[in-house]
Amino acid sequence: MADLRLVAVAGVALLAACSGDAPADEASVDEGSLIACAIGSATEFTRNCSVERAVIDGVLTLVINHEDGGFRRLTVMDDGSGVTAADGADQATITVFDGEIEVAIDGDRYLLPATIAGEAASPHAPE
């Protein structure tokens, strides 16, 4: 369990460091802020969700914007447990694999980069 926490935090920290603070409209989305996602019934991941970060009341929050205008907010936990859903009653589930973490919330899935000891960063990781 501790290994999962460290990996999740490493991935979120990398994503937060690489994400821009620009609004997520078509004209201002930086290719470096895009992550792979599978929204709703989509079975394949596509790299078309953008990520913004904000510090709200001293807590790092990631806003993942969907191509259709929907979004999810994730709170980065400072206790090493990774991320939690900031909105609604749905829980975030984290799965670690292949140098990435998958965050799933109510049928939506997001691939966030993770650095695991001895492995390179994910090819999906924003540069």
User: What local confidence, expressed as pLDDT, does residue 12 receive?
Assistant: 52
Is 118 within a domain? no
User: What local confidence, expressed as pLDDT, does residue 14 receive?
Assistant: 41
Is 119 within a domain? no
Residues linked to residue 65 through DSSP beta bridges, in sequence order: 50, 71
Is 87 within a domain? yes
Q: How many domains is the chain built from?
A: 1
Going from the C-alpha of 16 to that of each of 32, 73, 107, 109, the distances in angstroms are 11, 13, 23, 18
What would the mean pLDDT of 83-91 be, rounded to a whole number?
84
Q: Read off the pLDDT of residues 48-69 as tens digits, 9 standing for 90 and up.
A: 999 998 998 898 898 999 999 9
- In terms of residue numbers, what domain contains 68? 2-113
